Structure 1
Amino acid sequence: MTNIVIRKNKADFSWHAAGAGLLSSFVGFASTFTLIVQALVNVGATQKEAASGLMAVSIAMGVAGIALSIKNKMPVSVAWSTPGAALLLGIGAVKGGFPAAIGALIMAGVMLTLAGLCKPLGRVISKIPSSVANAMLAGIILNLCVAPVHAMAQYPLYFAPVLLVWLIMLKVKRILAIPCAAIATLVIIYLTSDLSHITRGSILPHLMLASPVFNLSSLVSIAIPLFIVTMASQNIPGVAVLNVNGYKPDATPLFTSTGLCSLLAAPFGGPAIGLAAITAAICAGEEAGDDPARRYWAGVVCGAAYIIYGLAAGAATQLISVSPPVFIEAVAGLALMGALGNSLVNSLNDKNSRDAAIVTFLVTIGGHAFFGIGGAFWGLLVGIAMLYLFKANAERN
């Protein structure tokens, strides 16, 4: 497909693009904001710190999306790293507590920025075998995808309506299935929980600056895997979605910009952000209008909506806090089922790397830490080592 010629016209606002941007923001936020909150809580954040993180990452996404869309005149969608949040949720409490997790988020932001500034580094990451990267991601999110089963066993009356909404929307409008399930979850929590302790002051938006702690364990267990899954599962596919729709951006400035925004959000508890993939298709495709040159408004409107959603982070986090953790994990599990299916398929597609992918998956899901380093890193390392070992043996033979 030939490159799209972008018009520089201040009067090119598109209502179709604006509508696509609103839909994209709603799907992106409502689908997995519960995952972000629970991930931060699991690595040691208080409810106020988790609200700060959700607010910071939402604003970072919004600012990056608006700036990049206007600058490039392309519908650049930015999203938090859902695989990265799943990684944090799978790791749980870390040595050094939440300050160490903040340190890891800052280091991941530095690496994401360097991936854009240092082109060889970006090329190295892009060469990580897709089968191994997908197997690692599948291992990270598998336990979360089982959470709906646990929720049905423990809270059948509460979770059954959520599951029913999800199933109905899968049939009616698949892309709205998770957002509607998330809304149903919040409604059920509101109707069945004691909210008397929640005050107006506790739901007002505010950012909390944390004091980071840097150590080798959090670097290897969190920062490096977070960097890899964000690059492999979001940044690279995000560029591919733009390319498929006829846009040919220079990828490195996009990586640098989202990395810098990740770095700015991290001290406030914000997880890493990167280019969106699924929601990017909404903004860059025909849903955003017939004229590709005007679709960049979808990225602008999507970014503006994320900033508004971020201001409601305190209320959303307080509401989630009164729910049993497995209930929130179950909604996150529903949101990640598609990602699990895609990761498993992509990890096993190539029969030459299938053994390495399976070992990566098993080591990652085992979750055992060696030398204070989590299973995700070891799964990736073992998988890459097996691939190159088999390749070397094949070349000798």
Structure 2
Amino acid sequence: MVSAGVVTALVGFASASVVVLAGLRAAGASPAQAASGLLAVTVTQALGTLWLSRRHRMPVLLAWSTPGAALLASTGAVDGGWPAAVGAFLVVGGLILLTALWPRLGGLIASIPAPIAQAMLAGVLLTLCLAPVHGLVDHPALVAPAVVVWLVLLRLAPRWAVPVAFAAAVVAIGIWLGRHGGLDGPLLPRVELTAPTLTWASVLSLAIPLYIVTMASQNVPGVAVLASYGYTVPWRESMTVTGVGTVVGAFAGGHAINLAAITAALAASPDAHPDPRRRWLVAHLAGWTFLVLALVSTVLVTVVTAAPAGVTTAVAGLALVGTLASSLTSALADPDDRQAAVVTFVVAASGITLASVGAAFWALAAGLLVRATLRRRPAASAAVPTPPRD
């Protein structure tokens, strides 16, 4: 049971921490601010996990929003820079809290067609998932070991493919640093507070898409995963805890925390513990492990930021290939929504900025518009019997 809790935390941290760093840096954070942001989401998810798992005696596991971090990396800096991004993180936390208090908001998010939401996420992920290809060309000695390890372990031990590939990349970067002057930067955790600002661009480009991605790709699936193992998630309290954690962590640069989806199965499945009533201890131990891992977050940032440009995003791209495949599958599954989903994907992947608002917002708007247009039946065709459409 102890090993299951530690492994759960290690897999979650190593699989996605580099994605968080890539996202925060793209949003305008300095290395010190990115380190503070990673520290913030690690600590807040750990404390939330400890509280919820112990209080409800079920394996409720929290995580940072990995798709949300990918959204940051795809969108880049907005008008107002890093303070505006921090303001967007605060808005996201406020919206999650509002979801706990006003269930209709959660219902509104659930009403967004899954193909549209998944296509937007896939378009956001595409840029990062292309990074390993560019990395292999630009820095083969640093990126190739991670790609080879990732590919081999996808065949032998898929759960460990991304964490061990991440470790291989760190080793390669360490060797490179040894030949280029060594490590230079802070090693101890430190909180860097940022005074937030709000702009319409940050709200529309970051806050709203980040909230939608976090809810649709993390919180809702997280509930479903636990339900598949017989657990009923305390929805309102979970949203309250993750909303408060997001608000508190935002001042230190944390983007969002939420219910875990993929790693939730590591704590809730029979492999974690044969007795369902004891599996909460696995999540609880994972929470304590996250607190320990928070101590090394600054070291991680110092190492990866010292590497040549493109290496970190290449490893982040490997971590998101599986998510991209899942998103594309969901986006294109329904033939009736396929064209709208493709339009959403193309617009999101384009990376456009219009009226200072990023591509994710316009992708969602374009997809919903195309879907509404294609599903509207002309009066002349009313005589032709057609099956009802949802």
The 8 Å contact of residues 183 and 303 in structure 2, kept in 1 or not, is answered as no
Q: Equivalent residue of 2:271, what SS?
A: helix
The C-alpha deviation readout for 1:55-99, integer Å capped at 9, x for no partner, is 011000100111111111110111110110000001112211111
For residue 394 of structure 1, report the CA deviation from its aligned partner. 7.0
Among 214, 217, 222, which residue is 1:230 paired with? 214
TM-score by length of 2: 0.94
Is residue 2:285 matched to residue 1:290?
no
Give the distance between the partners of 2:55 and 2:110, measured in 1 at CA. 25
**Mapped pair 1:47 → 2:36:** no
Q: Give the TM-score of the pair, scaled to structure 1.
A: 0.93
Match of 2:170 among 186, 192, 196: 186
SS state at 1:198 partner: coil
Q: Which amino acid in 2 is paired with 1:223?
A: A
**Is the 8 Å Cα contact of residues 78 and 356 (structure 2) preserved in structure 1?**
no
Matched, 1:342 2:326: yes
Whether 1:161 and 2:137 are equivalent positions in the alignment is no
Cα distance in 2, alignment partners of residues 229 and 325 from structure 1: 27
Partner-residue secondary structure (3-state), 1:178: helix
How many percent identity over aligned positions?
A: 40
The whole-number CA distance in structure 2 between the counterparts of 1:393 and 1:70 is 53
Q: 1:206 maps to which residue?
A: 190
Q: Shift of residue 325 of structure 1?
A: 2.7
Q: 1:386 aligns with which of 350, 370, 379?
A: 370
1:20, distance to aligned residue in structure 2 (A): 2.0
Asked if residue 69 in structure 1 is aligned to residue 53 in structure 2, the reply is yes
Does 35-44 or 267-276 show the bigger shift?
Answer: 35-44
Aligned residue number for residue 62 of structure 2: 78
Structure 1 residues 26 and 389: CA distance shift in structure 2, 3 A: same
Give the secondary-structure state (helix, strand or coil) at the position aligned to 2:263. Answer: helix
2:202 matched residue in structure 1 = 218
Q: Give the superposition deviation at 1:196.
A: 4.1
Q: Distance in 2 between matches of 1:173 and 1:98?
A: 38
Q: Given residue 348 of structure 1, which amino acid in structure 2 is its aligned partner?
A: L
Counterpart Cα distance in 2 of 1:232 and 1:32: 18
C-alpha offsets along residues 79-136 of structure 1, whole Å, 9 cap, x if unaligned?
1101100000011122111111111111111111111111110111111110000000
Query: Any stretches of 5+ residues in structure 2 without a counterpart?
Result: 383-390
Runs of 5+ unmatched residues, structure 1: 1-15
Cα pair distance change 1:161/1:384, threshold 3 Å: same
Q: Which amino acid aligns with 1:160?
A: A
C-alpha offsets along residues 206-244 of structure 1, whole Å, 9 cap, x if unaligned?
111111111111000000000000000000000000100
Q: Specify the SS of the correspondent of 2:189.
A: coil
**2:340 alignment partner in structure 1:** 356
Question: Once the 2 structures are TM-superposed, how far is the Cα of residue 249 of structure 1 from its aligned partner?
Answer: 2.2
Checking the alignment, whether the CA contact within 8 Å between 2:115 and 2:332 is kept in structure 1 is yes
Count of paired positions: 379
Change (3 A) 1:294 1:371: same
Give yes or no for contact 2:58–2:279 (8 Å, CA) kept in 1. Answer: yes
Alpha-carbon distance in 2 for matches of 1:67, 1:48: 29
How far the C-alpha of 1:303 sits from its partner, in A, is 1.1
Classify 1:31/1:308 alpha carbon distance in 2 versus 1 (closer, same or farther; 3 Å): same
Letter in 2 for 1:373: V
* 1:132 has 2:121 as partner: no
Report the alpha carbon displacement of residue 253 of structure 1 after superposing the two structures with TM: 1.9
Equivalence for 1:315: 299
Distance 1:268 1:181 in 2: 29
Superposed CA RMSD: 1.4
Classify 1:112/1:182 alpha carbon distance in 2 versus 1 (closer, same or farther; 3 Å). Answer: same
Q: Which amino acid aligns with 1:377?
A: F
Q: Secondary structure at the match of 1:107?
A: helix
Contact 2:143 2:315 (C-alpha < 8 Å) held by counterparts: no
